Structure 1
Amino acid sequence: MRGTTYKRCGCRNLETGEKYPTGKCPKLVNRNHGAWWARYDAPAGSSGRRRQPTVGPFKTRKAAQQALMEELGKSEIHGRQLDRNLKTGAYLEKIWLPAKKESLSSSTFADYAEIVQLYLVPGLGHLKLVDLRDKHVIDLYEAILQINRPLPEGDKPSELLRRLLEVRAYSTRPLKVGEAPRRKQTKPISPTRVKKIHAVLLSALNWAVKSKRLRENPIAHVEPPRVKGRRVKPLVWTAERVERWQETGKVLGPVMVWTPAQTGAFLDFIADERLYALFHLVAFRGLRRAEVAGLAWADTDLQGAGTLTVRETSPDSETQADEYDDTKSEAGERTVALDEATIAVLLDWRTRQERERSVAGPEVWVDSGRVFTREDGTRLRPQWISTRFEDLIRKYGLVQHRHSEEGWSVDRISRHHRTSVRAVQVVIGGEPLPPIRFHDLRHGAATLALLGNVNMKVISETLGHARHSFTADTYTSVLPEVSRAAAEAVAAVVPRRPQPETPAAAANVISFADRRNRRGKHAG
């Protein structure tokens, strides 16, 4: 059984006088115009005709999607008895996830599917849904937390932990002939992730109750596991931290930010990179990875207001090439002002993209309308952007190593690494470039704005945050220059009289012994 959500209004075409077909009114792009509705396929009536009931109106698409999911649940379970043989894994993968797909963005759905695959199915999938108890779930959470902790020497993992580790170990993607299995998931599980796993399972079991597959939710009163953890704040790659990284090879924190000089060195190094404009834009304006991948030319105004509007994000799935999601939140849908240098970079990129379009020809070129694309016009996957960014950082370090440690000439490095002489010279004359994640460019953009004395409210709106306090607490890792300025500002608040010069002040210091001797003389 299928359903869909859509937006409609009652506007008429001024030329024909007729109502616009559903979804065709040009004003529907405005958030406050029209209303959201849901339509779904229902079982045929006594006449055998197809039935598609509608529900609505709703102010938001989320409300329409929620109503749609409820209606689908009511229609699918009418008169059904509890299936006592239904396994939890089959319920999650074949019933609940497909039912949720319509009401979730593609990226959120992919996240839910990963949680089901990596944690819920290996942990609970073998149990019958009607036999699921709170103890099973508590045991699962304990095993999940154990993933982050090394086992004592000589101990073997429990059967539950073994299943979790086995599924995390390798990708389930079909392998090509001769291809070795790839690692799927090796990152430690964060406190936020543990809470998300609980939320997904709670939602799945609540839906099972609504759809009469369970009489009650067995974990309704189970608290999510409490994991100690604070919001991670960015650390700046100061000279001392870079030196420590060079000595040990260890990154000092999960979120690291480049200094302005390091950011400049990276951008200078990749100036000849095909997608230089993408990295430049993120470094200065802080777009999220999925936002920059989903950015459309239609949402830019480079030669007028000098802005771009973030409205859509690109999913990470190859199977959803023509689908784009809404922004992460309402605050994420925003207009971002651009500086002259960034506008010039984007205009140069558009000229290059048009040349690529001409070379590819109409039979090859895919008109996705996106700002940043592959050479054939197809969209970029967000994960590919991160991978390319990491490759460029590694290349910078390798070029530096070839010259300083192995004595390679500039020309040899240029030929071997297919890098311009100019780029090699940038690296040779520069400082080491420590590693950061692509998302850390976004942290860095906030910090650069802070260095430029940009108002915190403006920084928050540029990044698409709902709360300014979140921006201040998380995204503005304070550079040494900012810290020094703040310290000077605090010191200036306290009024002081002019102090004597240090040598003169030292000359006026009288020791305790001298003071005692003087008092003795006066007493005599």
Structure 2
Amino acid sequence: MPASRRAGGISKRCECRGTDGKRLGAACPQLSKRSHGKHRVSQELPEDADGHRRRFQRTGYTDAKDATRDLDRIRAILDLPGDDEDGQRRVGDLLAELQTTRGPIPEPTEVSRKLGVGVPLDGKTTVGDWLDHVMTNKATRTTTNRGYGSHIRVHLKPAIGHLRLDRLGVGHVEDMFAAIDDRNDVIRAENQARHEQVARCTRGKPGAPKTAERAQLAAERATLAEMPPFRRITGPATKQAIRRTLRMALNKAIAGQLITFNAAQHVELAAAARPKGLLWTDERVERWRETGVKPGPVMVWTPAQLGAFLDEAEGDRLYAFFHLIAHHGLRRGEGVGQGWDDFSAARKEIRVSAEIVVDGWTPIETAPKTDGSVGIVKVDAETVRVLLEHREQQHAERDAWNAQAAAEREQGNATADWADTGKMFTTEAGAWLHPDVVSKTFRRIADGAGLPPINLRDLRHGAAALVKAGGGDIHDAKVKLRHGTIQLTSDTYMELFEEYEDELTEKAAATVPRARRGDVEAPAE
């Protein structure tokens, strides 16, 4: 109900009392005097959540103009929600709270702003409330939102979610990251202790009698079972991402004029170094076989190692998938989402325009990771041949599936025909291929080939290495991988390119024939 149709107004009262000790109220003969008594504002409010009627009343106004100003503000605030019952109840709650606290009546524009963004109108919005509101209205891609949501759920809300949004300071955010560092120290110590205990649980301790060895082994394993599991620390890159999430949310609060200061903007963190790609040289492979430790988080196969993998994969129905991403650097989701309509054998190119990613466990189709990722990728003649052969294989699978489905239906079984999704890589039934399927298939083939470990995404890094092996430079790698900036490519691959430079230099020197080279003794060390 509009404020104009609600009961309310301004009246005047005094504190004078009669001979019986009771207030005279409106019967006071002095009320007609301008300077006598106080003005009172009275206004009916929307019903509360339980349907109870309520009224705003405030007295003590010396000047009628002040009372009129507040009444006008109250009625303007009541008019803001229009016919929105939830909004009416919220402004009613706000005004009822102000009557209790005797807080100042806010400007209607301030209430309108808060009403529009859906936050509490009493100025007590917490950081957690605001983060929830931001995520409810976030329009970014699903996988990005999952990252934001993880930062909020695991780190931000437990540490600072209870604080009032307008009182969040730099110190609060610094304390949060200090607590993360303390937790990392505990995790490192626990992980190290577990590593040492795992080593004690190894069988075959020399010199120990069988019975004693079994008893000792059982005791060590019992101790291991009581220890905390291995956990990942929150590294510099993740801390930077947590700060970005908070900074984004606080910037939105500033844009909504809820706060004026972004505390996350002024917190200093250690820079997160981008992982460097390293080549699986013979020396590194030998060291890995001895210790079981990878030299770095991003490892890249040599062309010979990649060839061994593709030879092993050639009999698998997903061979064409691995060939494509290994040579041309598509991301896993881009490869799974690649459609036949975006492939031209005549022009030897594919157009990357969609990808299939997972939301939790559910595959969803979305636009590629960045605007720069959408574009044309030139492919070589051998890749064209592999893709055409794969299409013939897919057609054969379709025909076999449909024949079997028809036979099943004749026997009364409800079996659907092959699903024509238009994707290059599908299940045997034609449906979307789950991204995790290709990851598991990749690991199985790589293990079968006896190769040093890399992740499926490292095939994309390997495509950059092939650019260098083929005589290209860092700019050619940027184009191949569709990076937004040359700096991103350089930060990730310069060290890898320098390793290839050493290898190419040695190969170039070795091409010069020397008649006496075999007779020359190696210099003494």
The TM-score with structure 1 as length reference comes to 0.60
SS in 1 for 2:372: coil
Kept after mapping to 2: 8 A contact 1:372/1:379? yes
Partner of 2:245: 200
Partner of 2:395: 354
Is residue 299 of structure 2 the alignment partner of residue 256 of structure 1?
Answer: yes
Kept after mapping to 1: 8 A contact 2:243/2:264? no
Partner of 1:508: none
Kept after mapping to 1: 8 A contact 2:300/2:454? yes
SS in 2 for 1:336: strand
Q: How does 1:474-493 map to 2 (within 5 A)?
A: 474-475=492-493, 477-478=496-497, 482-486=501-505
- Tell me the amino acid that sits aligned with residue 152 of structure 2: V
Partner of 1:390: 443
Partner of 1:140: 176
Is residue 453 of structure 2 the alignment partner of residue 435 of structure 1?
Answer: yes
Which of the residues 222, 227, 237 maps onto 2:266?
Answer: 222
Which of the residues 335, 347, 356 maps onto 1:314?
Answer: 356
Cα distance in 2 for residues equivalent to 1:455 and 1:151: 41
- Taking structure 1 as reference, are residues 481 and 347 closer, same or farther at Cα in structure 2, changes over 3 Å only? same
Cα distance in 1 for residues equivalent to 2:118 and 2:455: 52
Is residue 480 of structure 2 the alignment partner of residue 462 of structure 1?
Answer: yes
- Taking structure 1 as reference, are residues 121 and 343 closer, same or farther at Cα in structure 2, changes over 3 Å only? same
- Tell me the amino acid that sits aligned with residue 284 of structure 1: H
Q: More helix per residue: 1 or 2? A: 2
Kept after mapping to 1: 8 A contact 2:320/2:387? yes
CA RMSD of aligned residues (A): 4.0
Cα distance in 1 for residues equivalent to 2:310 and 2:383: 12
Deviations 1:316-352 (A, max 9, x none): 2268655312x33333222111122211211122222
Is residue 365 of structure 2 the alignment partner of residue 323 of structure 1?
Answer: yes
Cα distance in 2 for residues equivalent to 1:84 and 1:218: 17
Partner of 2:283: 240
SS in 2 for 1:315: strand
| Structure possessing the higher relative contact order (Cα contacts under 8 Å, 6 or more residues apart) | 1
Q: Which moved more, 1:453-462 or 1:353-362?
A: 353-362
Kept after mapping to 2: 8 A contact 1:286/1:463? yes
- Taking structure 1 as reference, are residues 130 and 385 closer, same or farther at Cα in structure 2, changes over 3 Å only? farther
SS in 2 for 1:380: coil
Q: Which moved more, 1:115-124 or 1:235-244?
A: 115-124
Cα distance in 2 for residues equivalent to 1:502 and 1:368: 61
Kept after mapping to 2: 8 A contact 1:290/1:314? yes
- Tell me the amino acid that sits aligned with residue 433 of structure 1: L
SS in 2 for 1:372: coil
Aligned residues: 363
> What's the offset of the Cα at 1:120?
1.5
Q: How does 1:33-48 map to 2 (within 5 A)?
A: none
Cα distance in 1 for residues equivalent to 2:157 and 2:298: 31
> What's the offset of the Cα at 1:217?
3.6
Cα distance in 1 for residues equivalent to 2:422 and 2:113: 40
> What's the offset of the Cα at 1:131?
4.8
The TM-score with structure 2 as length reference comes to 0.60
Cα distance in 2 for residues equivalent to 1:187 and 1:106: 24
Cα distance in 2 for residues equivalent to 1:78 and 1:240: 59
- Taking structure 1 as reference, are residues 116 and 355 closer, same or farther at Cα in structure 2, changes over 3 Å only? farther
- Tell me the amino acid that sits aligned with residue 352 of structure 2: V
Kept after mapping to 2: 8 A contact 1:233/1:255? yes
Structure 2: segments with no counterpart, 5+ residues: 1-79, 86-111, 191-227, 406-414, 510-515, 521-525
Is residue 309 of structure 2 the alignment partner of residue 284 of structure 1?
Answer: no
Q: Which moved more, 1:437-446 or 1:230-239?
A: 230-239
Partner of 1:91: 130
Partner of 2:309: 266
- Taking structure 1 as reference, are residues 88 and 297 closer, same or farther at Cα in structure 2, changes over 3 Å only? same
Cα distance in 2 for residues equivalent to 1:234 and 1:45: 60
Which of the residues 457, 462, 465 maps onto 1:447?
Answer: 465
> What's the offset of the Cα at 1:374?
2.4
> What's the offset of the Cα at 1:106?
2.1
Kept after mapping to 1: 8 A contact 2:237/2:273? no
Deviations 1:58-93 (A, max 9, x none): xxxxxxxxxxxxxxx969527976445544334323
Q: Which moved more, 1:307-316 or 1:185-194?
A: 185-194
- Taking structure 1 as reference, are residues 87 and 461 closer, same or farther at Cα in structure 2, changes over 3 Å only? same
Kept after mapping to 1: 8 A contact 2:468/2:500? no
- Tell me the amino acid that sits aligned with residue 139 of structure 1: D
- Tell me the amino acid that sits aligned with residue 249 of structure 2: A
Which of the residues 269, 277, 293 maps onto 2:336?
Answer: 293
Kept after mapping to 1: 8 A contact 2:115/2:121? no
Matched-pair identity in %: 33
> What's the offset of the Cα at 1:186?
4.3
Cα distance in 2 for residues equivalent to 1:148 and 1:261: 39
Deviations 1:184-210 (A, max 9, x none): 994443423221211110111222343
Partner of 2:39: none
Cα distance in 2 for residues equivalent to 1:501 and 1:261: 26
Partner of 1:343: 384
- Taking structure 1 as reference, are residues 460 and 133 closer, same or farther at Cα in structure 2, changes over 3 Å only? closer
> What's the offset of the Cα at 1:284?
0.8
Kept after mapping to 2: 8 A contact 1:236/1:479? no
SS in 2 for 1:335: strand
> What's the offset of the Cα at 1:119?
1.7
Q: Could you say which structure has the larger radius of gyration? A: 2
> What's the offset of the Cα at 1:305?
0.8
- Taking structure 1 as reference, are residues 446 and 84 closer, same or farther at Cα in structure 2, changes over 3 Å only? same
Cα distance in 2 for residues equivalent to 1:139 and 1:447: 42
> What's the offset of the Cα at 1:136?
2.2
